[in-house]
């Protein structure tokens, strides 16, 4: 009888350890608010440097680049990567925008990170 009780107790303890190790945590990124949330004009924080241009995020989610062609990136050309990260391509370069908050983001362009700030 004692042997049977010990076997049952051991089985319960073993199964509880197995259940603890089987938690189902997801690593999916948090859904973004939408690129249009960051509507406004953006420029590099350090305007004394010769890199990075300004851009405007429009109410419809498109991005107007301040380049010589005045390129507009339509919302359907912008990939939502999750965790407030957006990615698009322009002139053969991939640009990634990582928003820290409503007024600050990091623009990664060709491996170079440029701190951007919203000016209006």
Encoded tokens for 17: 């350890």
pLDDT digits (tens, 9 = 90+) for 49-61: 766 679 999 999 9
The residue-averaged pLDDT of 75-96 equals 95
Residue boundaries of the structural domains of the chain: 35-118
Cα 40 to Cα 61: distance, rounded to the nearest angstrom: 10
pLDDT digits (tens, 9 = 90+) for 15-41: 555 555 555 565 666 667 899 999 999
Domain 35-118 is in which class? mainly beta
- For residue 99, the cross-strand partners are 105
Cα 5 to Cα 8: distance, rounded to the nearest angstrom: 5
């Amino acid at each position: 009888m004692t042997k049977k009780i010990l076997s049952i107790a051991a089985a319960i303890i073993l199964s509880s350890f197995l259940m603890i190790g089987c938690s189902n945590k997801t690593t999916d990124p948090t859904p973004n608010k939408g690129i249009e949330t960051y509507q406004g004009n953006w420029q590099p924080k350090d305007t004394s440097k010769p890199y990075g241009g300004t851009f405007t995020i429009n109410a419809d989610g498109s991005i107007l680049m301040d380049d010589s062609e005045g390129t507009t990136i339509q919302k359907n050309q912008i990939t939502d990567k999750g965790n407030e990260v957006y990615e698009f391509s322009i002139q053969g370069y991939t640009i990634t925008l990582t928003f820290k908050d409503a007024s600050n983001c990091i623009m990664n362009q060709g491996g170079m990170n440029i701190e951007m700030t919203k000016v209006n």
